[in-house]
Each structure stands twice: as structure tokens, then as C-alpha cells.
Amino acid sequence: MRVALVARISPSWFADRRDVTKYMSRYKTFDHYFDALSERTKEPELALKVALVVRDMVETAHKIHAVAHACLDYYVEKSMTIKPECWHDGLPSFDHSKLGNQPEGRPIQPKPSGPPTYLEEQILIRLLWRLQVFIELRTANRQKNLEHWSEDNRRSIQIWFMDYLFHAFTPISNTQEMFRTYNDTWNPYCEKDQFSSLMEFVIHVTAGDTKLKPGLWELENFLKNLPPKIYDGCYHATCLPPKPISETRRGLMTTDDILPATVSIDEMIEKPPAGWRLHDEMVSDRRHHYSSVPFEPYRRYGFAFWQAERMANLGFDYHERPGFDESDAPKRYFVWHSVLRGVDMSSRYGHPHEVTQ
């Protein structure tokens, strides 16, 4: 929110595009900016401008919260409609090349996984604020307030191709932190899937009332004219942060209790969710011939946002680095592959597998 606020009040504060990403990644802070702003707001004209911008940003924050919660509620409901099959010992040996001929396993009944969690909500809220920064920078550029940027930098923020924007504004500095891997930091590919999930929700709400592939312009219009049901529903939505360990656990603490306490909420938000990570790990493991399966069929059930606990409730047990458990891998792949319908793989992607629910 701070990056969007400064981009609205003082876009000239950012030296270039890379400077924006440094503030996004907390590599740089706004301490000096707000210290200087407190002195400058003594000027009547600037004080009025700041007051109006802050009021508008509070309204934007409410809308972002409302959209995030409504979107996640939509995918929670969608996720309860999946019916993956369950592998059991009576089935013949697993063979991906003949998956369509495998007999059906025991259907998994997804367990109710509860409302959106604080972390899931924060992931989507953070994404929406990132998109708001893009909107603010484009407005500043149209108003000639980024003339100190290079021509390439100014041209880059006017590109409507969202894939490019996510890569261009990825906070690379976070990947340099000790002990953090590519899957522990900002991942533009994951963000693109989350954005696609968000826009599929927008299409659902607006009944597909758009002639173009929905993008940032459609999202901006949607936020300006939220349906009353979504706007008002936010007043009754509460996603509280988890309580400190000392308030939730009694007795001796284990390593599993201590490790999460050492990770900040920012790092948890930046790490791609379990649903996306597991698919990424499976398609990267060529031993099980899963590399050609896209994420899109799973995205429609909200997997771009779901954490490990919700995935387990839905029937998709998540383990870090699944390739190391050879005995469990076939079962996991069977469950994931059994969700796919024949039309997903054959008509859209040209793959030969015919799998139905």
C-alpha cells in the first residue's frame, strides 16, 4: 500500500523502475520520505492533496480487501466440487502412458476446509496492491510525472502484457537472501497464475462482459464499480492473523513449532503456495512423465492460493520435495492426474490421456 500511496502523491520519488522493485521487496524503506513529507504538508495545497489521496487510498484498501475475500470464497466453494480418485493396493502398477485405462480408485470426498485463512487473504491482497502500483505508475506516466525515467523504463510500464509486467517488476533483491531458494521468493510465474485466477473470478462476477482478454484495464474498471454484494460483504469478513505460538500451544515446543516463528509474514506471503509449488515440482520431475500437464485445470479450483493444510483436506497431501519419497510418488501423481477431464487434456492441449471423474 505504501508503494501505491507514494506513486500517487510523489511519483518522482522513484528514480527508475528498478527503484520501485527495491521498495516492493523492502530492500529500501520510506522512512526518509515520510519524515520529509511531514514537513512539506505544512503547505496548504500539498496538505489538501495528501488528505484527498489518503482518503482515496483507504477506499481502495477496502475494495481490495472485499475483492480478495470474495474471490477466495468463490474458489473455496469451487474446490469442494472436485472428486479426485484414490490409489489403493488393489490397482495394477501405475503407468502414466496408459492412465486412461486405469480402473477407478475410491473417490476422495473433499473435507470442508473452512473459510479463507489470513495468509491466503494476504497473498491475494498483496497481489492486488502490486497491480494497483502498476495502475498508479501508468497514470503518473500519462501525466508526465516520470520524465526523469529513461524512455525504456517509461515504455515498459505502458505495456499491457501482464506476463511482461510481472517479470519486469519482480523484486530480484529477495533472491539474494541467505538460505532462500527460487521457490521461497517472489515468483513471477506463480503471480501470473494467481492473476489469471483473479481475472477468472472477475469474469464470473461480470458474466464475461468483455470483448478482450481481461487484463489490468478490466481489473481497474471492476475495482471502480464493485457490485454492492462484494463491496458490502467485506464489512463482515474477518481473517485474523494466527496467534503467537505461546497462546496456542502448551508443553514442550518442537522444531516444527519453532521454525514458523522465525519466518516473517512477508516471507510467507512471498513464497508460492503449496498447491502451486507441488504442481511445479511434479512437472519438473521427468521420471513420472508429468511435464506436459499445465496448471490451468488446477487453477480453476484455487490451487494458486491454497496452503498445505487446505490441500490435504481436499485430498492432495503435500510434502516438501516429493521426489525423495519414491514409494509415495505414484499415488500422489495418480490423485493429481485423476482430476483432469478428457476435454482438458485432449481438446485444449492435444495430450492423449482420457481421464474422467
- 326 to 5, 272, 285, 286, 331: CA distances (angstroms): 50, 24, 12, 13, 10
Q: Under 8 Å CB-to-CB from 211, ≥6 apart: which residues?
A: none
Question: What is the spatial distance between Cα 234 and Cα 248, in angstroms, rounded to a whole number?
Answer: 27
User: Is there a contact between 274 and 311 (Cβ–Cβ < 8 Å)?
Assistant: yes
- 211 forms bridges with which residues in the sheet? none
Question: CA angle at residue 123 from 331 to 111, to 5 degrees?
Answer: 40
Distance of CA 156 to the CA centre of its chain: 23
- H/E run at residue 330: helix 329-338
Question: What is the spatial distance between Cα 201 and Cα 214, in angstroms, rounded to a whole number?
Answer: 11
Per-residue confidence of the chain (357 residues) as pLDDT tens digits? 889 999 998 888 999 988 998 888 778 888 888 777 766 666 677 778 888 888 999 999 999 999 999 999 999 999 998 877 765 555 445 454 544 444 456 677 788 888 999 999 999 999 999 999 999 999 999 999 999 999 999 988 887 677 777 877 776 544 444 444 445 566 888 999 999 999 999 999 987 655 556 678 888 889 999 999 999 887 666 666 665 544 444 455 454 444 455 557 777 888 889 999 888 877 876 665 566 778 888 999 999 999 988 998 888 876 554 444 555 666 677 777 777 754 444 434 444 443 333
Residue of 120, 151, 126, 119 lying closest to 24 (CA atoms)? 126
- 106 forms bridges with which residues in the sheet? 86
Question: What is the spatial distance between Cα 227 and Cα 222, in angstroms, rounded to a whole number?
Answer: 9
Question: CA angle at residue 100 from 97 to 106, to 5 degrees?
Answer: 115
The helix/strand count (H/E) of the chain reads as 18, 2
Residue 331: exposure state from Cβ atoms within 10 A (0-12, 13-18, ≥19)? middle
- 85 forms bridges with which residues in the sheet? 107
User: Is there a contact between 137 and 12 (Cβ–Cβ < 8 Å)?
Assistant: no
